[in-house]
């Protein structure tokens, strides 16, 4: 069976930093740390720029980090991202889950 881009057949769940960290590489972890900073400082313009200009890195955030692949396409539109997308990102991966996953990852290095 080939690897699915956002679903883990072994664990029967969407890939996320907290449930399936084994799918993330160091670039994904670095991006997640940066995204957490942007969320905490409410710097949505840098977050939006990342989503719309970083191609596979951005797609990996949605597919493997927060398990919301639909969001990759939805959040390409700034008004959606600003008015709905951020809330959906928080619902799919709470800030606490994201922070705990990063903390656990860097503890284990």
Instruction: Give Dmax over CA atoms of the chain in angstroms.
Output: 41
Q: Where are the domains of the chain?
A: 7-107
CA torsion angle 15 88 58 56 (round to 10): 50
DSSP structural state of residue 15:
-
Is the model's pLDDT at 90 over the cut of 90? no
What is the rounded CA–CA span in Å between residue 99 and residue 37? Answer: 10
Distance of alpha carbon 75 from its chain centroid, rounded? 12
pLDDT tens per residue across span 48-78: 999 999 999 999 999 999 999 999 999 999 9
| pTM of the full structure | 0.93
pLDDT for position 89: 85
C-alpha torsion sign, points 21, 55, 89, 103: positive
């Amino acid at each position: 069976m080939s690897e699915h881009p956002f679903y883990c057949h072994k664990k029967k769940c969407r890939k996320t930093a907290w449930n399936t960290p084994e799918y993330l590489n160091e670039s994904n972890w670095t991006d997640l740390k940066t995204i957490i900073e942007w969320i905490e400082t409410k710097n949505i313009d840098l977050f939006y720029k990342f989503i719309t200009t970083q191609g596979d890195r951005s797609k990996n955030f949605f597919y493997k980090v927060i398990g919301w692949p639909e969001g990759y396409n939805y959040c390409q539109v700034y008004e959606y991202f600003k008015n709905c997308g951020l809330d959906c990102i928080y619902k799919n991966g709470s800030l606490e889950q994201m922070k705990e996953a990063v903390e656990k990852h860097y503890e284990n290095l």
